[in-house]
Amino acid sequence: MKPLWETNTELEVQHLTMRFGGLTAIGDLSFNAARQQITALIGPNGAGKTTVFNCITGFYKPTEGMIKLTHDDGKTFLLERMDDFLVNRNAKVARTFQNIRLFSGMTVVENLMVAQHNVLMNASGFTVGALFGSGKFKRANTAALEKAKYWLDQVGLVDRADDPAGDLPYGAQRRLEIARAMCTGPRLLCLDEPAAGLNPRESEELNKLLLAIRDAHKTAVLLIEHDMSVVMGISDHVVVLDYGRKIADGTPAQVKADPAVIRAYLGVEDEDDDEGKAAAAVVQEALTHKPVPDDVLAAAIVTPSIPSASKVRKASAKMPASKKKGRK
Amino acid sequence: MSAPAKSSASGTELRVLSPIEIVQDLFWVGLITTLILVPIVYVRTLLVQSSLTYVTRPYLTLVLLGIVLAYRLIMRLLVWNPRAAAATAPVENAGQAPSAVSGPSLGDRIGPYVARGMFGLALILPILLMWFGNRDSFFPGWDKRGIDLAIYILTYIMLGWGLNVVVGLAGLLDLGYVAFYAVGAYAYALLSTVYFPLWFGHGIVPYAFYITLPLAGLLAACWGIILGFPVLRLRGDYLAIVTLAFGEIIRLVLINWFSFTNGPQGIDVPKLTFFGLAFADEKGSFSDFFHITYDRIHSYVFLYYVILALALLTYFVTRKLRRLPIGRAWEALREDEIACRSLGINTTNTKLTAFAIGAMFGGFSGAFFAARQGFVSPESFVYIESALILAIVVLGGLGSQIGIVFSTIAIMGSFEVFREMNFLKQVLPSGTEPIQFRMLAVGVAMVLMMRFRPRGFVTKREPTAYLKESKAVSGDLVSEGHG
């Protein structure tokens, strides 16, 4: 049976290439994201994940390739040709940022009102109507406040609604950014490392929120994440990038077992058997949260000639912390 | 003069004083002040025919003493009073309360009352000045002069409110705002003297201002968009330089396009009329129509109410716009342009509307300026005017409308004060007038402000929407914009 992302495609990325001068950040990348599924985009640091996001959301114009978005009603959008704000306004793609970009001098609820700018702007008769107190705008304004309140409720920030966004703790700012993106009424939500800096309990809440967005709001989610508990816990589909190229694509279980993924994350040589096994075991641990048998790990650690031994240990704490040698 | 009061206050602890203690406090402050004032102010030596005599100045001394005591009393009751402070202090986030706003400032507590009071005062100011300023009253000669000064200040308040849209709300640094002022002024001048008589005959000239006013705003808004297009991609310093250049270009075109603008000689334009009735001692004039004796003050009072109406229009429109999606988008643009675009906001249009609306109010006040002066020339639109308006906005606190009122009165009022301070001639180098040092004073004021209140008079930002209660946002969180 064909996977859902082949049959019910929301986002179709084909032969996407992005070059910055001589550097090829993404090379010939093709993948699909299904409607109402959570698709995770993972890969070591510098693999080009955020560049893919910037291409999808219109902030970068790709050098080559096509990014096609298809709505439920059959409307299609070629995102690589659209201005960044039109990607959100017309194609209904919302995003968050790796380094949080809230309007920190505005209150939490104002942030959510800004997100509903286009709806309110139309209702305000391009400001003229609202300036003379049109009832249509007042109704739209009330509805927008209700929507803001609903999303604050979803992310658990109702109590802080009237506080400045810049005063919120880090985890709350991440949730607020998701709520703000959802207030634009997206069909596809792109989240750039939503779990970065969250504690395990907050990650768990994030998982629930993302599942609710997927199921209750019929929104496809595209996710960049290093936290494997989030990626493996909730994604339906995982795409792995390395050096701007796709090295694996499939369900979480398929990706976990893929030797290319293990190689990309740990940088082990194929012929180095002992180390390879140890590394694979550690990756398995990270992916499945099962402890590695001591004897396998010992084989990796006691061998002094293996340069990646310390990295292996680090990797067991958190996978992305380990980098391939010589990578920036 | 308030130096002794200040230095003694900084050493005292904040506690609630009983009325008797306050009186005691005032007594000691008064004593110290008197001791200082007697040798410096009360006794003044004079060299009369090479013999040294002295005169005493009791009134001046008493006025200065009164100022010091009033200052001390107000500070005791409102600022150095922990009970009053606690009652109205905003709840700050304990860990993050920045030192600059940790104590509630005077403005926070009495702000709303001051604003209302000033609005009321603005409405009746000409009447007050006509009472107290006429020839046989307390301040002879101050009626016309006071109203004129008020008109002058209101013009700058209006310009400040207009520029506030661009700089304070949208965060786009505009150093060429005076260009729109010039466009408005020349729009009125050229339309009323050349084009309206040409198109509609001379009968229209008395009414020209009322027809030209919207046109002047429209033309200035167009020029705002024309300026906006090339600078859309620029930020920060680059934006500032291009807007500066734009201001100069407009001025240089006005000087050099002799056949159109009459160059540096300027244009004589018809003065403002009372809806067609001129202010003059003749038949068919305002005084003739209403059967009152002609007095020049009628035109001053009318000008005052026209600029007050225009300024209030600016105030209420910009205040309303701030609460509408467009104004919220301006502020969001100031906070983070990339986030705005990710939320589907067309930042190009948002910036252009900010430029256009800011320019429109500049155009309105330009047309008023021309109608008030009866003369326009490029000399009125030099760069220093832009800098002054920007200084008013920055000193008032970016984005704050009431702060702009204070800063305009402070800056423009201090210019007038310099005109009065003839006693400074004693200490100034010979051949200089106190008025020549006014820009120096503005500079010193700006330096002091950057040291003590780097965010301007009003540092709080009022939210434009709220769920439960409206809590002001501390200025330290609000971004200044990136240009």
Domain ranges of chain A: 1-92+186-247, 104-184, 257-321
Which residues on A lie below 8 Å from B473 (Cβ)? Answer: 105-107, 164
| 3-class SS of residue A241 | strand
Residues 76-95 of chain A whose Cβ lies under 8 A from any Cβ of chain B: 84-86, 88-89, 94-95
Q: What is the pLDDT of residue B105?
A: 53
Element (H, E) at A305: none
Residue B419, pLDDT score: 75
* Contact flag B477-A117 (C-beta cutoff 8 Å): no
Secondary structure letter of residue B461 according to DSSP: B
Q: Tens place of pLDDT for every residue, chain B, 483 residues?
A: 334 444 444 444 556 677 888 888 899 999 999 999 888 888 888 888 888 888 888 888 888 899 999 988 888 877 776 665 555 444 444 333 343 344 455 555 666 677 788 888 888 887 887 777 676 666 667 778 888 889 999 999 999 999 999 998 998 989 999 999 999 999 999 999 988 888 888 888 888 889 999 999 999 999 999 988 888 888 778 888 999 999 999 999 999 999 988 888 989 988 888 887 888 777 778 878 888 888 888 888 899 999 999 999 999 999 999 989 999 999 999 999 999 999 999 999 999 999 999 999 999 999 999 999 989 999 989 998 999 999 889 888 877 888 899 889 888 888 777 777 767 666 666 777 777 777 787 788 778 877 887 777 777 888 888 888 778 887 777 877 665
Nearest residue of A to residue B94, measured between CA atoms: A167
B329/A105 Cβ within 8 A: no
For residue A77, how far is the Cα from the chain centroid? 20
Query: What pLDDT shows up at residue B471?
Result: 80
First to last CA, chain A: 40
Interface touch A127/B473, C-beta < 8 Å: no
Alpha carbon of residue A247 to chain centroid: 18
- Of A263, A268, A269, the C-alpha closest to A247 is A263
ipTM attached to this prediction:
0.79
CATH number assigned to the domain covering B104-452: 1.10.3470
Chain B touched by A153 (CB under 8 Å): no
* Per-residue pLDDT tens digits for A273-294: 565 566 666 666 666 655 556 6
Q: In sequence order, what are the residues at sequence separation of 6 or more whose Cβ sits closer than 8 angstroms to the Cβ of residue B244?
A: B175, B176, B383, B386
**Closest chain B residue to the Cα of A115, Cα to Cα:** B343
Which of A 40-59 lie inside 8 A of B, CB atoms?
57, 59
Q: Write out chain A residues lying below 8 Å of B479, CB-based.
A: 104-105
Q: Touching check for B470 and chain A: CB below 8 Å?
A: yes
| Partners of residue A221 on adjacent β-strands | A38, A189
Candidate from A95, A148, A161 with C-beta closest to B342: A95
Chain A, 254 to 313: residues with Cβ < 8 Å from chain B are none
**pLDDT tens, residue by residue, A294-328:** 665 555 554 444 444 444 444 444 444 444 444 43
Report chain A residues whose CB lies below 8 A from the CB of B313. Answer: none
pTM more than 0.80: no
CA of B329 vs chain A CAs: smallest distance (Å)? 6
From A106, A149, A184, residue closest to B344, measured CB to CB: A184
| CATH hierarchy code of domain A1-92+186-247 | 3.40.50.300
Instruction: Name A168's Cβ contacts closer than 8 Å, sequence gap at least 6.
Output: A108, A157, A160, A176
Residues 6+ apart with CB under 8 A from B479: A104, A105, B171, B334, B335, B336
Give residue-wise pLDDT tens across range A105-145. 899 999 999 999 998 888 887 777 777 777 888 889 899 99
The structural domains of chain B, with segments of one domain joined by +, span 1-85, 104-452
Kindly report the nearest CA distance between residue B342 and chain A, in angstroms: 6
Nearest CB neighbour to A85, from listed B345, B464, B471: B345
Low-confidence ranges of chain A (pLDDT < 50): 302-328
Chain-centroid distance of CA B274 in Å reads: 26
Residue B18 at interface with chain A, using a CB cutoff of 8 Å: no
